[in-house]
Chain A
Amino acid sequence: MRINLLLLLFLALFCSCKEEITLTTRSNEIQMVVDGMITDEPGPYAVTLSVTSPLGQPEHIPLTGCTVTITDDAGYTEILAEHKDGQYLTHSEGIRGQPGREYQLSIQTPGGRHYETPFQKMSPPVKIDSLYSEVQYTERTDQPGSLPGLQFFTDSEKASAQENYFLWRITETFQYELDYKLYAIYYDGEILINNRDTISGYDSLYTCWKTHDAGTFFTGSTSSLKEAKIVKQPLHYVGTDTKRLSSRYSFHLHQYCIDRETYYYWKNLQEQITGDNFLLAKQPYNPTGNVRNTSDPQETVLGTFTVASVTTKRIFRSRPALPFYLDSCMVGTDLESMFKTMGPAFLVIGPQGMGKVHKDCIDCRSKGGVPRKPSFWTDY
């Protein structure tokens, strides 16, 4: 935040400029990426192996055909099965993480290289005490003025140990409705009225639920605190410029308790991806996790294998009494030209009377959701 503001200050004071540049890179060194986790939740646990992709064409390039094993400190070893390209899973009846036990990941590539992590102890879980939100205003990025929204916070219960390290990830689910209900379809010279003529079922596409990872993570630690309790840790911010808060919103927090090294990995990674790399920002570099090439320790292996205990908590938020800044569907009122075509055209009753809209505007699935209420969903 402070970096942004300094930037803003200079931009505002001295008409400094920010201009987009084309990013071209001379080399495209391919590096191995490990993304895996074992928790105390029931498995299966996934380890995803991939390699870096070029800047211009970001894609997931799986690393297939590896032998991936997880070993615990009791001598139990499980070979993970390649469930799909690059994704290796433990058996659902197989290894089960337990706080206090240690786990090691090792990887043998088809090319004969061997990678492994040290044994890492699973930290004891710390319960989430509460999860709550406050109305906050942020600077709008696209235009002057402030944008209201909800800032989410969490408190943890007091932990028994003084030093606790946390990784927080959020899965958000939101219910959303279309701007307009379908009134009629024009097709081949005919207007078919919804719920009267032979078409129906469109009303079931009016409300959807979308679940996704919030695309961000947060880290925190109690090691510098007076008592081993996190109080009001800021998490995700949800603005009123999207439909997420427009109907009903579920915030599902996963609180992972990790060890110190893993914490620094995620913290440094977070600084790299959220920092604006400006003025007070640190030198960019590639944080590396705990995976090492056993014969070449200097090889950069990106990603990490996280050993964590986890607790979760979910809260719901109904539409807050705040102004929303949403783009709504365009309603075309030029129906005359529509009649010159074969169609189909989708008609709604807009603010200026009947008009036509794009097909996406009468199908909530077009925004990525599903028209099925999730099992955990509560409407009150």
Chain B
Amino acid sequence: MLSAIAASGQPLQKDVRIPPQQSNWTDFTSTLEKENNIRFFYDPSLLPGTPVVVAPDSMLLMEVLRNYFSASGIQVSSDGSGNYFLYRDFKLQTLPGIFFSGSVSSHSPGEKTVTSPSKGATVEKYLSTTRTLTTEAVDIGKKGSSHSNRVILRGKVTAAEEGGSVPLATIKIEELNRYVTSDQSGRYEIALEPRNYTLTVNSLGYFEKSFRINLYSDGDLNITLDTKSILLDEAGISAIRNHNVQSTQMGLDNLTVAAIKKLPVMLGEQDVVKAALMLPGVQSIGEISSGFNVRGSPADQNIFYINGVPVYNATHLFGLFTTFNPDAINGFDLYKSNIPVEYGGRLSSIFNIDAKNGNLKNFSARGGISPVSGRVMVEGPLVKEKASYLASVRTTYSDWLLKQVDNHDISHSTASFYDALMNLYYRINSHSNLSLFLYGSEDLSDIAFGFGNRYANLGGSVRWSYDFNRNLGLNLDLVKSRYAYEEENHEVAYLANRHSFSLNHTEMKLGFRYNLNDRSSLRLGMSSELYGLDHGDLRPMNDESRISPLHFQSEKAMVNSLYAGTLLSLSERLSFEGGVRGAWYSLLGPGTIYDYLEHHPRESTNITDSTHYGKNEVISRHRHLDLRLAARFSLLPSLSVKASYNRLHQYLFMLSNTISVSPTNKWKLSDPHLPPMAGEQFSVGLYQNLMQNKLELSIETYYKKVKNLVEYKDGADFLSSRYPETNILQGDLKAYGTEFSIKKKGGKLNGWINYTWSRAEVKALDKNSGEANNRGMAYPANYDRPHAVNTVFNYNLSKRLSLSANAVYSTGRPVTFPTSIYYQNGIQITAFSNRNAYRLPDYFRTDLSVNLEGNLKKNKLAHGSWSFSFYNLTSRKNPYTVIFRNEEGKIKGYEVSILGTIIPSINYNLKFGNYEN
């Protein structure tokens, strides 16, 4: 609580000189109040409890206060009229109606605009209103125009600096003790009785704002929040307070880029996927697997979207890094339990990355260098307050690293990558905006001996948002994305070949939001996706090559979907979210489908017949009705229980027979031989917030079943056969687990600890032909790690210096071991165990980073910051895999660890402007 020491009626003194003394706080302040008409505003719990010491010479009061509080991080300000404010973190609890800072603009029907005061003016306004205890209220609507006892207040919360929307801001109606939260696009809406209110707006990373409104009839109130100049809270999870308890959403994790940037990194590269691996239920095979596994699902059941553009291969350099430049993104959401009804086509998770909109007011630029790459981002207005641009490029200079290696093959190898994005934003008017987003990445590698590949993502989206009225808005998205690779294999000259593949994804999405009332809403929409998979040709690479070109049949499919979802708050305690998504899948010609002998293995020798389909003729068709159900019940205001059920289908899968994910894994559409994958997931969870929502506890349990999982047959070779179905087996996946999580948000020390117990089991057996992997027995998935603990700590020593540490533990991944020896032709051969019957040793790693910001001067041209990272602090040799060799007649096993040593790295970042912008 704020305690204000009452003012006396004496005249005001501006510069108070304090004589040398040593006294306790109470005595010190009461003297000053009596003699100098000075008032102190502070929270008594902030007091250090030590005596106030004034050095031999007399000092100004401000100096005394700053000295006194400097160690405890308390800020001191004065309004120059005898009021002194002591506070931490700019978290002054405001008294209703006491102050009014920042800008409020409102328009139709009761047009009212309050001009945005400058930053300096904000302080003055704040202080003067404090004295007068009044504030100018904003009129909304027309006096006497509404006779209804419920009118609608709505608007959008935007950030003053970037002009972007502020999602998940809480707007508190102080008089009613009611909250409304802005949605993903910053919009909010609430039905209220027409009268006067005090609103307090809060969002993480922004200054709290309060103001008064006189609400007469329906009207708009757009709120602009100022970005906090002190990033103390930024490393927290960006969800609104209490959101995890109050929303129906389960299994949603999100991280802001500020949080990602503080995490220790490998080779100086900040990486969203590596950050996601610190979240519960997210696993990977090891350091260089490009994919990640969410709740026991293989990597192809996840999809990355960046501003609506799907990215089919989000890795650089064999999976060491991810293709998203952290400077150009705000953060990400990872939906791993109930996937919003707007998304279809993936069974496990949606990794939704939000790229930044350009700054609508000022030009700005930032960049950075690490041992591996350099990056630049520029942004600024095209038309002030109306249109903006943002462009970023990151490219590697890792070739020099390879050149250092004293090995002919490596120093003559090349590996390079780049990624780039551009975002154009145009605010057409107050209820409509348009954005154009482009994204691209490319990787090129050629290992001097025998093997090269290049792969690239290229995509773009156009998004138009339009609000018809306060209750109805729409989003229209046009998306195109292309993923292509080319691989070369010249290990054996006469077989030297080149193969290219491309996947084209075209999508049109139309979505409507309709608010039934302030607590319930409806989402309706449709989408149409067109997939074109060009499986390419296997072509001779040069004149020496003797191979004859082999053409692989292309595939084309269309998925049309309709969805409807609703969020219903049935009471304060109970809310319900439901959705249905109908999908119509058609595989389209041209194409030839082969028939195989029944009850026989699907092999080219067992082909009995074939059917040819003409262009755009429907080859196979599926219709599915997918379900999303979720409910939340609050046991207490800070304790809730939630449950969800999801049923989904997936028509596009990735075929992989390597343990890690290789860039040249094949994508394949469902066809008459390969029915779509079907997944179901049940989850139940308990959520509690403690310590004014600073501490979030949760437990989530899930059970997941996937049918028609696609696995390569043992020994399959995709490039040797024109009949992909002969290489494929379909099976079942079963996964279950429980995730425990504790998060501490805000404050000097923040971070999280989570523990996950989980299992994932695969069974691949074709009952029709008897074909099976692992003799038809179930086996643990490659990424099955029953126990996993992730801890992340951020400690802010000062505004300029922070430390981050994390520790990761997990059970070693399963591997197949040799178990016995036999002889064939006199050659010693190893017989292996059942698939994945053994495990690598447990994985454990700790990392540390030190982030140092440049000086905090307000007026400077550019601001620099340094990050020092120490990856694998303990140099533990975590085995990535085991290899077995026959050495002089004995089978020997070796554990191979990648990054089995401490890897220090430096990352330098520079941007225009000062620390805060």
Contact (A23, B658) CB under 8 Å given A28-B820, A284-B816, A286-B831: no
Report if A373 contacts B (CB, 8 A): no
Report if A368 contacts B (CB, 8 A): no
Contact with B along A238-269 (1 / 0, CB 8 A): 00000000000000000000001000100011
- Residues of chain B within 8 A (CB-CB) of A117 are none
A16 to B882, CA, bound (A): 13
Contact B896 A25 (CB under 8 A): no
Report if A18 contacts B (CB, 8 A): yes
Contact A297 B770 (CB under 8 A): yes
Contact B819 A55 (CB under 8 A): yes
Contact A1 B450 (CB under 8 A): yes
A24 to B449, CA, bound (A): 35
Residue with the highest number of chain B CB atoms closer than 10 Å, among A16, A234, A303:
A16
Contact A33 B896 (CB under 8 A): no
Which residues A1-55 have CB closer than 8 A to chain B?
1-2, 5-23, 25, 27-31, 33, 35, 48, 50-55
Contact A52 B825 (CB under 8 A): no
A297 to B829, CA, bound (A): 22
Shortest Cβ distance from residue B675 to the other chain A in the assembled complex, whole angstroms:
24
Report if B914 contacts A (CB, 8 A): no
Which residues B314-353 have CB closer than 8 A to chain A?
318
Contact A224 B770 (CB under 8 A): no
Contact A282 B658 (CB under 8 A): yes
Q: Which of A10, A54, A216, A287 contacts B820 (CB 8 A)?
A: A54
Contact B892 A20 (CB under 8 A): yes
Report if B122 contacts A (CB, 8 A): no
Residue with the highest number of chain B CB atoms closer than 10 Å, among A17, A51, A139:
A17
Contact A9 B892 (CB under 8 A): no
Number of interchain pairs (Cβ within 8 Å): 238
Contact (A216, B821) CB under 8 Å given A9-B410, A20-B892, A282-B657: no
- Residues of chain B within 8 A (CB-CB) of A286 are 831-832
Contact B822 A278 (CB under 8 A): no
Contact A33 B822 (CB under 8 A): yes
A232 to B494, CA, bound (A): 7
Residue with the highest number of chain A CB atoms closer than 10 Å, among B318, B491, B880, B900:
B900
Report if A213 contacts B (CB, 8 A): yes
Contact A216 B899 (CB under 8 A): no
Report if B530 contacts A (CB, 8 A): no
Contact B898 A25 (CB under 8 A): no
Q: Which of B492, B817, B820, B897 contacts A16 (CB 8 A)?
A: B897
> Interface stretch among B40-48, B140-148, B545-553?
B545-553
- Residues of chain A within 8 A (CB-CB) of B658 are 279-282
Report if A217 contacts B (CB, 8 A): yes
Shortest Cβ distance from residue A273 to the other chain B in the assembled complex, whole angstroms:
6
Which chain B residue lies CB-closest to A48?
A: B823
Which chain B residue lies CB-closest to A7?
A: B896
Which chain A residue lies CB-closest to B902?
A: A15
- Residues of chain B within 8 A (CB-CB) of A2 are 447, 449-451, 489, 491
- Residues of chain A within 8 A (CB-CB) of B823 are 33, 35, 48, 50, 60
Shortest Cβ distance from residue A64 to the other chain B in the assembled complex, whole angstroms:
16
Contact with A along B437-481 (1 / 0, CB 8 A): 000000000011111000000000000000000000000000000
Report if A230 contacts B (CB, 8 A): yes
Q: Which of B605, B819, B891 contacts A260 (CB 8 A)?
A: B605
Which chain B residue lies CB-closest to A279?
A: B660
Contact B882 A285 (CB under 8 A): no
Shortest Cβ distance from residue B574 to the other chain A in the assembled complex, whole angstroms:
48
Q: Which of B660, B886, B894, B903 contacts A21 (CB 8 A)?
A: B894
Report if B672 contacts A (CB, 8 A): no
Q: Which of B408, B492, B820, B884 contacts A277 (CB 8 A)?
A: B884
- Residues of chain A within 8 A (CB-CB) of B903 are 14
Report if B799 contacts A (CB, 8 A): no
A192 to B657, CA, bound (A): 67
Contact (A264, B715) CB under 8 Å given A232-B494, A234-B492: yes
- Residues of chain B within 8 A (CB-CB) of A226 are 540, 546-548
Contact A23 B818 (CB under 8 A): yes
- Residues of chain B within 8 A (CB-CB) of A52 are 820-822, 831
Report if A300 contacts B (CB, 8 A): yes
Report if B135 contacts A (CB, 8 A): no
- Residues of chain B within 8 A (CB-CB) of A233 are 492, 494
Contact A17 B897 (CB under 8 A): yes
A70 to B903, CA, bound (A): 62
Contact (A58, B883) CB under 8 Å given A17-B877, A17-B896: no
Report if B580 contacts A (CB, 8 A): no
Contact A5 B900 (CB under 8 A): no
Report if B720 contacts A (CB, 8 A): yes
Report if B824 contacts A (CB, 8 A): yes
Report if B810 contacts A (CB, 8 A): no
Which chain A residue lies CB-closest to B891?
A: A55
A277 to B782, CA, bound (A): 14
Q: How many residues of A contact B (CB 8 A)?
A: 82
Which residues B767-823 have CB closer than 8 A to chain A?
770, 772-776, 816-823
Shortest Cβ distance from residue A184 to the other chain B in the assembled complex, whole angstroms:
34
Which chain A residue lies CB-closest to B547?
A: A224
Contact A225 B547 (CB under 8 A): yes
Contact with B along A198-237 (1 / 0, CB 8 A): 0000000000000001011100000011110111111000
Contact A6 B898 (CB under 8 A): no
Contact B897 A13 (CB under 8 A): no
Report if B826 contacts A (CB, 8 A): yes
Report if A272 contacts B (CB, 8 A): yes
Report if A146 contacts B (CB, 8 A): yes
Contact (A285, B714) CB under 8 Å given A12-B405, A230-B494, A297-B770: yes
Report if A356 contacts B (CB, 8 A): no
Contact B714 A283 (CB under 8 A): yes
- Residues of chain A within 8 A (CB-CB) of B401 are 13
Contact B720 A224 (CB under 8 A): yes
Report if B116 contacts A (CB, 8 A): no
Report if B830 contacts A (CB, 8 A): yes
Report if B26 contacts A (CB, 8 A): no
Q: Which of A5, A29, A35, A144 contacts B824 (CB 8 A)?
A: A35
Report if A360 contacts B (CB, 8 A): no
Report if A276 contacts B (CB, 8 A): yes
Shortest Cβ distance from residue A181 to the other chain B in the assembled complex, whole angstroms:
29
Q: Which of B409, B773, B881, B890 contacts A8 (CB 8 A)?
A: B409
- Residues of chain A within 8 A (CB-CB) of B832 are 272, 284-286
Contact (A224, B715) CB under 8 Å given A2-B451, A16-B897: no
A50 to B401, CA, bound (A): 51
Q: Which of B819, B830, B881 contacts A278 (CB 8 A)?
A: B881
Contact B657 A283 (CB under 8 A): yes
Report if B407 contacts A (CB, 8 A): yes
Report if B114 contacts A (CB, 8 A): no
A271 to B890, CA, bound (A): 18
Report if B434 contacts A (CB, 8 A): no
Report if B362 contacts A (CB, 8 A): no
Report if B828 contacts A (CB, 8 A): yes
Shortest Cβ distance from residue A276 to the other chain B in the assembled complex, whole angstroms:
5
Report if B288 contacts A (CB, 8 A): yes
Which chain B residue lies CB-closest to A167?
A: B825
Contact B831 A302 (CB under 8 A): yes
Q: Which of B546, B833, B900 contacts A17 (CB 8 A)?
A: B900
Contact with A along B815-856 (1 / 0, CB 8 A): 011111111111111111101000000000000000000000
Contact (A23, B450) CB under 8 Å given A8-B409, A226-B546, A285-B714: no
Pairs A-B, 9 closest by C-beta atoms = A52-B820, A2-B451, A58-B821, A268-B715, A226-B548, A33-B822, A25-B819, A17-B900, A285-B714
Given A17-B900, A18-B896; 20 other pairs, CB 8 A cutoff? A2-B450, A5-B413, A5-B448, A19-B877, A23-B817, A33-B822, A50-B822, A58-B821, A58-B891, A217-B825, A226-B548, A260-B605, A273-B827, A277-B881, A277-B882, A282-B715, A284-B816, A284-B818, A285-B835, A286-B831
The 10 sampled A-B contact pairs (Cβ below 8 Å) are A1-B449, A9-B447, A13-B402, A16-B880, A213-B827, A277-B881, A282-B658, A282-B715, A286-B832, A303-B824
